Amino acid sequence: MDAVPVRVLEYLTEVEEAAEDVLTTKQQIVDLDTKRNGNREALNALKNETSDSDKVKVCFGNMFIKFPKSKTREMIQKDQEQLDKEIDELRTGLKAKVNRLNVMQGKPELRGYSLSPLSTDEVRAVNSLLKR
């Protein structure tokens, strides 16, 4: 008779942990996206800078360092690529976590949630078929 309340408590704990995992992943995506937007602003500032100097001041931690514009642009672009990759991985993992949470709660799996966009080759093929 005591096994039923224990099992209910275990079930609720599992569901709560899965929901917390989903929320944590969403927050990580938001944080990385905020950083990506900051990088985008920095790239625009570099592009629009009109000074004659080939060096710019870059903030590393709590200090500013003069760095060549080209190297700074390269570093920011590499960081952007890394952030894009991390965000895509988190979004892909989020889909599985949400589906797992839905299954645990007895809800049906989301339909169309695991769709992915057409690749550029697939878009070209569809466009060539439509032009006929």
pLDDT given at position 117: 81
Whether this prediction's pTM lies above 0.85 is answered by no
Sign of the alpha-carbon torsion through 61, 39, 80, 54:
negative
Q: Which domains does the chain carry?
A: 3-110 (1.10.287.370)
Cβ distance 98 to 110 under 8 Å?
A: yes
Tell me the pLDDT of the chain averaged across its residues: 89
- Residues 74, 58: Cα–Cα separation, whole Å: 13
pLDDT tens by residue, 57-87:
888 889 999 989 989 999 999 999 999 999 9
pLDDT given at position 60: 82
Q: What is the pLDDT along the chain (132 residues), one digit of tens a residue?
A: 578 888 999 999 999 999 999 999 999 999 999 999 999 999 998 888 877 788 888 888 899 999 899 899 999 999 999 999 999 999 989 988 998 999 888 888 777 766 778 889 999 999 998 886
Structure tokens at 30: 């938001």
Angstrom CA distances, 129 to 10, 114, 125, 126, stand at 55, 26, 6, 5
DSSP class of residue 106?
Answer: T
pLDDT given at position 43: 92
Angstrom CA distances, 18 to 23, 43, 52, 105, 113, stand at 9, 38, 54, 10, 18
